[in-house]
Amino acid sequence: MAAMTREQHRNSDVGSTDFYPANNDNVWDADFQYKDGVRFDNGDSNLQKDWANLVCSDLEKSAKRGSSVAQACLSHMYQEGFGVRRDPKKAFKWCSEAARQEGQADAMYELGLMYLDGRGITRCRSSAFKLLKGAGEQNHAKALFKLAEMQIDDSFGKTNPTFAFKTCLKAAKLNYPEAQFNVGVMFERGIGTNQNFQEAVFWYKKASENGNKHSLNNLGNMYLNGLGVPKDINVAKSLFYAASDHGSGLADFNLAVIYGQCEIDQTSALRSLTLFFMASLKGVEEATRVLKRLKQIFPRRTLISANSEAISNQANGQKIREKL
């Protein structure tokens, strides 16, 4: 039977932009602007026209007078094409202006991503690292997380697992769920630090409490194998179910393995087969390989029934405990 599967390190999306101006000033009302930005993002066509006018008048004038909030807003608008024609170079220009001002960790973080991804500027890893490090020194959790990723992923250049662990741990202590999950993985596997299953369980729990679905799967594995906690298959199954409810294909795969290892009866076999199909539909390649073998064993009618059930569960988003 197939071995249990764990989630790996999760990487942040360099192309995404969560840009929230951190301060207010006398030139521009950041709170009002942010609320309007949410309405704008949701497709308010009237607001789109209003913002386009602001870019040509008040907002740009405020940015030129030195408002870091206005500069950050303009950068975000030009990145996303909110009310203006998308223009990465202008986005970079205004983000650079905002990042030069004291205490603008958000702008430094965003500018670092621009250098890293080559948006509006030629790619430059060293400039990205410097900016992200500066934002991280101001306790910017996303910047710290990205720094850790750069030091653990060889696609960014030379790796430094020890630095990656220390930086990711700092982000985790700032309550950033993705960092908490990665710290759990690093403790479990001994990446950049000594292997410590108890610490891995601690950080998986913290990440789970903060809504990270991947940690639920890995925490289930810890209970299933008695790593850092007493072995408890019932707790493991409960965690796998919770992870599956949040869309984890690996959790479906692990539940399929558990039911496949039970005393084989028709109900357990069908449940295991359905879960393998669900994992395969969610992109778990190992599940697809297992199914190729199982298709040589199970009757065609059983396979069709299990596959139909898996497709129905995924299409309806129904929790599998209510169906299986």
Say what the pLDDT of residue 30 is: 38
**165 located within any domain:** no
Say what the pLDDT of residue 35 is: 41
Query: Residue 236 half-sphere exposure, CB side, CA atoms within 13 Å?
Result: 24
The domain boundary, picked from 76, 93, 124, lies at: 124
- Provide CB contacts within 8 A for 195, sequence distance 6+: 187, 188, 189
List the structure tokens of 94: 């205004």
148 contacts 171 by C-beta, under 8 angstroms: yes
Percent of the chain with pLDDT over 70: 79
Say what the pLDDT of residue 145 is: 97
98 contacts 104 by C-beta, under 8 angstroms: yes
Separation CA 6–CA 251 (nearest Å): 9
> Per residue of the chain (324 residues), what is the pLDDT tens digit?
455 566 666 654 433 323 222 332 333 343 344 444 444 545 566 666 666 666 656 778 888 888 888 898 889 888 888 777 899 999 999 999 999 998 999 999 999 999 999 999 999 999 999 999 999 999 999 999 999 999 988 767 789 999 999 999 999 999 999 999 999 999 999 999 999 999 999 999 999 999 898 999 999 999 999 999 999 999 999 999 999 998 899 999 999 999 988 756 788 888 999 999 999 999 999 999 999 999 998 999 989 999 998 998 877 765 655 445
For residue 305, give the 3-state DSSP assignment.
helix
**210 located within any domain:** no
Nearest Cα to Cα of residue 284 among 231, 247, 232, 237: 247
The domain boundary, picked from 124, 158, 174, lies at: 124
Nearest Cα to Cα of residue 205 among 238, 173, 180, 231: 180
**8 located within any domain:** no
Separation CA 218–CA 200 (nearest Å): 9
- Provide CB contacts within 8 A for 55, sequence distance 6+: 74, 77, 83, 84
**265 located within any domain:** yes
**236 located within any domain:** no
List the structure tokens of 157: 């250049």
Terminal alpha carbon distance of the chain: 21
279 contacts 260 by C-beta, under 8 angstroms: no
Structural domain boundaries enclosing 26:
14-124
CATH number at residue 92: 1.25.40
What's the structural domain count of the chain? Answer: 2
Nearest Cα to Cα of residue 289 among 280, 281, 297, 298: 280
**173 located within any domain:** no
Say what the pLDDT of residue 213 is: 84
**162 located within any domain:** no
The domain boundary, picked from 124, 140, 158, lies at: 124
Nearest Cα to Cα of residue 144 among 152, 157, 135, 153: 135
271 contacts 307 by C-beta, under 8 angstroms: no
Query: Residue 188 half-sphere exposure, CB side, CA atoms within 13 Å?
Result: 26
Say what the pLDDT of residue 153 is: 82
**273 located within any domain:** yes
